[in-house]
């Protein structure tokens, strides 16, 4: 059982609400205790939190939202409170892309940042806490990932982390893995149109799933679906530079997507694409549910 304290900086509360969608929420609440949560009943009031009246041990400090050096709540500097609890917590989870990398609310504000990172750059403000921090990025997070990390930490299971402190168990895959539109990518069928069941959004419509780390198509959202399965491009919301500009269009150089699948050299991509495109496989140009087809 872990004592969890959930603190919000500048946020839309999206991670708080996404967490409520955890399918095994009942069991989770039976195992763990919220010293504070933004929505659920908790041991302490927000006033207690800001008056530093929490005397229980803190196993997990959850931070949601973008940090701002000037942010005050109840005339108290938010970062002073954050540091107090960060010192005492055994682990710190930065939950969501805002708390991890700065996210949307950092844009056009020079004094805003995530807990350890500002976009791709590590900053020193909270460096002393890095050892006990874990990044759980996403806009919002998948509830299964947050619960999984908390359970792994409280069972003393080892967490292997990537270069941005994200647990590889969840961020070692690309969002592309498990997408039901994968065949259209494999065979380089580049005529995707919105409003259809078919096609891959990589070539024209800005899909970032092949270079975005996450488990959206492995765990699935709300147990049933994902953005890319339904036909919405992945916007790269787990990555340090979310949101990039021009999210619905693939930037290309000489007709080739400017960003290629993670780690794939341009030459390898072009060779593969050339071979795949040489075969015009009829099935991929037909509607899946078309009447009278076999």
Partner 1 sequence: MKDINKDNNLPTKSNSLPTKPCPLTPTNSKTIEVIEKIEGEAVVEYSFDGDRVDDVKIKFFQSRHIEKILIGKSVNDALVINPRVCGICNHAHLIATVRAIEDCYDSIEVPKNAKILREITLSLELLQNHFKWFYLTIEPLLGFDVQILKATKPSQLISKMIAMLAGQYPHNSYAIPGGVVGALTPLEIVGFKSSLNSLIKIFQESLIDVDLQNFVSCDRIDVMLSKSGDMPRAMQTILDKGYTELGKSNDKFIVFGEGLFKSGKSIKTRVATNIDTKYVESFDIKQSEAKLATYKGKFYEVGPLSRAMLLKTPLIKEAHRKFQDSLFSRILARVCEVPRLLLYTQELIEQIYLNRPFYIEPKILTNGEGVGVVEAARGSLIHKVSVRDGKIEDYQITTPTQWNLSFNTKENPTPVQKALIRSKKSDPLELIFKAFDVCSVCTVK
CA 16 to chain centre: 14
Q: Which part of the chain contacts partner 1 (CB under 8 A), choosing from 5-13, 121-129, 182-190, 277-285?
A: 5-13
Nearer Cβ to partner 1, position 55 or 263?
Answer: 55
Task: Please give the structure tokens belonging to residue 118.
Answer: 């500002």
Give the list of residues 6+ apart from residue 253 with CB closer than 8 angstroms, or none. none
Number of residues that bind partner 1 (CB under 8 A): 84
Instruction: Please select the residue that binds partner 1; options are 4, 5, 7, 15, rule is CB under 8 A.
Output: 15
DSSP 8-state secondary structure symbol assigned to residue 137: -
Q: Strand 252-253 to strand 72-73: parallel, antiparallel, or no bridges (unpaired)?
A: unpaired
Interface residues for partner 1 in 119-148 (CB under 8 A)? Answer: 131-132, 139-140
Half-sphere exposure of 238 (CA within 13 A, CB side): 29
CB of 88 vs partner 1, minimal distance in Å: 6
Nearer Cβ to partner 1, position 130 or 266?
Answer: 130
Nearer Cβ to partner 1, position 90 or 218?
Answer: 90
Interface residues for partner 1 in 196-215 (CB under 8 A)? Answer: 196-197
Interface residues for partner 1 in 237-276 (CB under 8 A)? Answer: 237, 243, 245-249
Residue owning tokens 């679906």:
225
163 touches partner 1 by CB under 8 A? no
DSSP 8-state secondary structure symbol assigned to residue 152: H
Q: Which part of the chain contacts partner 1 (CB under 8 A), choosing from 120-128, 165-173, 188-196, 278-286?
A: 188-196
Can you give the length of the chain in residues? 294
CA 60 to chain centre: 19
CB of 198 vs partner 1, minimal distance in Å: 9
Interface residues for partner 1 in 31-60 (CB under 8 A)? Answer: 38-41, 45-47, 50-52, 55-59
Nearer Cβ to partner 1, position 210 or 217?
Answer: 217
Q: Strand 112-113 to strand 67-68: parallel, antiparallel, or no bridges (unpaired)?
A: antiparallel
State the alpha helices, DSSP H only, in the chain: 14-20, 25-31, 46-50, 78-88, 97-101, 143-154, 168-171, 182-186, 227-230, 266-278
Interface residues for partner 1 in 71-90 (CB under 8 A)? Answer: 71-76, 84, 88, 90
Q: How far apart are the first and last CA of the chain?
A: 55
Q: Strand 91-95 to strand 133-136: parallel, antiparallel, or no bridges (unpaired)?
A: parallel
Instruction: Please select the residue that binds partner 1; options are 111, 121, 128, 222, rule is CB under 8 A.
Output: 222
116 touches partner 1 by CB under 8 A? no
**Rg (the chain; Cα; Å):** 21
Instruction: Please select the residue that binds partner 1; options are 5, 6, 7, 18, rule is CB under 8 A.
Output: 18
Nearer Cβ to partner 1, position 109 or 123?
Answer: 109
293 touches partner 1 by CB under 8 A? no
Task: Please give the structure tokens belonging to residue 2.
Answer: 């872990």
Nearer Cβ to partner 1, position 28 or 269?
Answer: 28
């Amino acid at each position: 059982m872990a004592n969890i304290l959930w603190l919000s900086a500048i946020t839309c509360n999206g991670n708080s609400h996404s967490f409520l969608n955890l399918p095994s929420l009942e069991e989770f609440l039976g195992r763990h205790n919220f010293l504070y949560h933004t929505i659920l009943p908790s041991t302490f009031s927000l006033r207690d939190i800001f008056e530093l009246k929490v005397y229980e041990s803190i196993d997990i400090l959850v931070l949601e939202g973008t940090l701002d050096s000037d942010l005050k709540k109840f005339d108290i500097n938010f970062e002073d409170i954050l540091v107090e609890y960060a010192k005492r917590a055994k682990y710190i989870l930065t939950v969501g892309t805002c708390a991890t990398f700065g996210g949307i609310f950092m844009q056009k504000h020079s004094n805003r940042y995530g807990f350890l990172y500002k976009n791709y750059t590590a900053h020193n403000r909270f460096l002393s806490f890095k050892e006990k921090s874990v990044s759980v990025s996403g806009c919002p997070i998948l509830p299964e990932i947050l619960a999984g990390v908390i359970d792994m930490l409280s069972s003393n299971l080892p967490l292997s982390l990537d270069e941005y402190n994200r647990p590889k168990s969840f961020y070692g895959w690309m969002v592309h893995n498990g997408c039901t539109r994968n065949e259209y990518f494999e065979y380089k069928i580049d005529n995707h149109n919105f409003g259809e069941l078919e096609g891959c959004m990589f070539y024209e419509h800005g899909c970032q799933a092949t270079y975005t780390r996450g488990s959206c198509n492995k765990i699935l959202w709300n147990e049933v679906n994902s953005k890319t399965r339904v036909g919405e491009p992945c916007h790269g919301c787990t990555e340090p530079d979310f949101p990039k500009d021009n999210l619905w269009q693939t930037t290309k150089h000489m007709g080739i997507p400017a960003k290629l699948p993670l780690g794939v050299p341009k030459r390898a991509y072009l060779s593969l694409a050339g071979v795949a495109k040489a075969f015009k496989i009829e099935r991929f140009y037909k509607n899946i549910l078309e009447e009278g087809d076999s």
